[in-house]
Amino acid sequence: MKQQNCSNMSEVTHDEIRLQILEFLYRFEKDEPSTWGVDRATLQRELGISERDMDYDMTFLSQRALVRTIQAENVLWYLARLSRYGRDVVENKKLYERQFPFLRYAKPKK
């Protein structure tokens, strides 16, 4: 299934969205280490994806222990941050590609 990405108007897959979420949470944590996590609105705005796709992929990542979330009334999750495991996966993508094939969408480091 593909989703229209508003920020660059190219089609992205759920695999690409999952990787974008992990990478955004990683960068956010490095830039804002004293903040617990990212709120829904910020993540959706930064990635330019639908709320439905964001929730679907955040649930996928949470169920695999890559992210931790805080729930609030009437929303699936309110705040999200990388777990220690998720941080290790982002920092060592090649080691985890077999377990998480969506990591293959990562751009090679320059």
- pLDDT of 5-35, one tens digit each? 444 435 789 999 999 999 999 999 999 989 9
Residues of the chain falling short of pLDDT 70: 1-10, 107-110
Cβ atoms of 67 and 55 closer than 8 Å? no
When the pLDDT of each residue in the chain is averaged and rounded to a whole number, the result is 88
Domains of the chain: 2-99 (1.10.10.10)
| Single-letter amino acid, residue 100 | F
CA 63, CA 76: separation in Å to the nearest integer? 13
CA 87, CA 36: separation in Å to the nearest integer? 14
What DSSP string describes 67-108? EEEEEETTEEEEEEEE-HHHHHHHHTHHHHTTT-GGGGGPPP
- Beta-bridge partners for 39: 79
Residue 12's pLDDT is 84
